[in-house]
Chain A
Amino acid sequence: MEILVCVKRVPDTAENEFELNSAGNDLDRDDLVYSVNEWDNYAVEEAIQIVDKVGGSVTVITVGDDESEEVLRREMAMGANNGILLSDDAFEGSDGKGIATILKTEIEKGKYDLILSGAQADEGAGQVGGMVAAMLDYPYASLVNKIEVKEGKIIVGREIEGGNQEMNEMQLPCVLSIQTGINEPRYVGIRGIRKVASVDIPVKGPGDLGLDAAIVGKAGAKTRRVDYFVPDTGEGAEMLEGATGEIIEKLIEKLKAKGGL
Chain B
Amino acid sequence: MTSIIGPASFKLFGIFPAAILSFIIPVVGIGIFAYIMARRIAPLVRSNPDNRFDHIGKRVQNLIFVWLGQMRQPRYMLAGVLHISIFAGFLILSIRSSSLVIIGLSDGFVLPGFGGFLGNIYNFIKDYAATIVLVACIIASIRRGIFKPKRYAVPEKYGKDHTSEAVFVLGIIATLMISESLFEASQLAYEFQHTGAEHFLAPLSLVWIFRAILSSVPQNFLQGLHIFTYFVHDLTFFFFLCFLPLGKHFHVITSIFNVFFMRVKKGKIKPVMYGVSDDKLDDLESFGVKKLEDFTWKHMLDFYSCADCGRCSDQCPANAVGRPLSPRFITIKARDLMFKNYPLSGEIYKSSLLVQDIYTEDEIWSCTTCGACEEECPLGIEYIDKIVDLRRGMVDEGMVPQSLQKPLKALEKRGNPYGKMEKKRADWAKDKEFKASWRIKDLARDKADVLYFVDSITSYDDNIQNIARRTSIILKKADIDFGILGKLEKDSGNEVLRFGEEMLYQDLKEQNTDAIKATGVKQIVTADPHAYNALKNDYDGLPPVKHISQVVARKIKSGELDLKPCRNPEKVYVYHDPCYLGRHNGVYEEPRQAMDAIEGLTRVELEKSRDRSFCCGGGGLMLFYEPEEDTRMGVLRVNMAAEAGATVIVTACPFCLVNIQDAIKVAGKEGQIEALDFTELIEQHLY
A184 in contact with B402 (CB, 8 Å): yes
| Cβ < 8 Å to A, chain B residues 396-444 | 396-402, 404-406, 408-410, 412-414, 419-421, 423
B395 in contact with A14 (CB, 8 Å): no
B398 in contact with A191 (CB, 8 Å): no
B462 in contact with A186 (CB, 8 Å): no
Contact of B287 among A15, A186, A191 (CB under 8 A): A191
B399 in contact with A186 (CB, 8 Å): yes
The residues of A that contact B264 with a CB separation of less than 8 Å are none
* A189 contacts B by Cβ under 8 Å: yes
Instruction: A187 to B503: give the CA distance in the assembly, Å.
Output: 13
B398 in contact with A78 (CB, 8 Å): yes
The residues of B that contact A233 with a CB separation of less than 8 Å are none
The residues of B that contact A17 with a CB separation of less than 8 Å are 420-421
Contact of B410 among A15, A186, A187 (CB under 8 A): A15
* B630 contacts A by Cβ under 8 Å: no
- What 1/0 flags go to B62-79 for Cβ under 8 Å of A? 000000000000000000
* A261 contacts B by Cβ under 8 Å: no
A31 in contact with B287 (CB, 8 Å): no
By size class, the interface of chain A is 20 to 34
With contacts A15-B410, A17-B421 known, is A190 near B399, CB below 8 A? no
By size class, the interface of chain B is 20 to 34
B405 in contact with A187 (CB, 8 Å): yes
Main secondary structure of the interface of B (DSSP, over half): helix
B282 in contact with A194 (CB, 8 Å): yes
Instruction: A14 to B419: give the CA distance in the assembly, Å.
Output: 6
Instruction: A194 to B414: give the CA distance in the assembly, Å.
Output: 19
Instruction: A99 to B89: give the CA distance in the assembly, Å.
Output: 82
B503 in contact with A191 (CB, 8 Å): yes
With contacts A187-B399, A190-B507, A194-B282 known, is A15 near B423, CB below 8 A? no
| Cβ < 8 Å to A, chain B residues 266-296 | 281-282, 287
With contacts A15-B419, A31-B421, A194-B282 known, is A189 near B501, CB below 8 A? yes
Contact of A12 among B413, B420, B462 (CB under 8 A): B413
The residues of B that contact A190 with a CB separation of less than 8 Å are 412, 501, 503-504, 507
A35 in contact with B409 (CB, 8 Å): yes
The residues of A that contact B404 with a CB separation of less than 8 Å are 187
Instruction: A188 to B421: give the CA distance in the assembly, Å.
Output: 22
Instruction: A8 to B504: give the CA distance in the assembly, Å.
Output: 24
* A243 contacts B by Cβ under 8 Å: yes
Contact of B503 among A31, A78, A185, A189 (CB under 8 A): A189
* A244 contacts B by Cβ under 8 Å: yes
Instruction: A255 to B595: give the CA distance in the assembly, Å.
Output: 42
B interface, CB within 8 angstroms of A: 281-282, 287, 395-402, 404-406, 408-410, 412-414, 419-421, 423, 462-463, 501-504, 507
Q: What are 8 A-B interface contacts by the 8 Å CB criterion? A: A17-B421, A31-B421, A31-B423, A33-B413, A185-B402, A187-B400, A189-B503, A191-B502
Please name 8 further chain A to chain B contacts, defined as beta carbons within 8 Å, in addition to the given A12-B409, A191-B502, sorted by A numbering.
Answer: A14-B419, A15-B410, A187-B399, A189-B395, A191-B287, A192-B398, A194-B282, A244-B462
